[in-house]
Amino acid sequence: MEPDELRQYFAGRLPHRLAEIEDACRAARDAGWTGEPLRTFHRLVHSLTGAGATFGFPEVSEIARGLEHLLAGLLKRDTPPGEPQIGEIEDFLAGLRPVG
């Protein structure tokens, strides 16, 4: 078990994980950014934050952490995001796509 092998393994898993997150984002948006769909979106992004760092992808972890904090704020306030925050969510996802 070498660090390069870990990175290679996770690189192969990233497209699937990012697709899952994009799906969860769409579901959260369709649900009005509330309830279980938003919690699922947040949980998947939270997992990516940890997994990225564990497998040697700090850049993935950093972007995911920013999105995670934004989503945690939405969950805490229980209010839908405004246009600027929706733009931020899209920016975070756009930042993740090239690494996936």
Residues that bind other proteins (CB under 8 A): 1, 3, 6, 9-10, 13, 17, 40, 43, 46-47, 49-55, 61
Q: How far is CA 17 from CA 20, 59, 85, in A?
A: 5, 15, 22
Residue 31, φ and ψ in degrees, nearest 5: -90, 10
Minimum Å distance from CB 53 to other proteins? 3
Report residue 68 CA to chain centroid gap: 6
Beta carbon nearer to other proteins, 49 or 74? 49
- 28, 38 Cβ separation under 8 angstroms: yes
Beta carbon nearer to other proteins, 27 or 53? 53
Minimum Å distance from CB 2 to other proteins? 9
The single-letter code of the amino acid at 22 is E
Minimum Å distance from CB 87 to other proteins? 26
Beta carbon nearer to other proteins, 43 or 97? 43
Please count the other Cβ atoms lying within 10 Å of the Cβ belonging to residue 76.
8
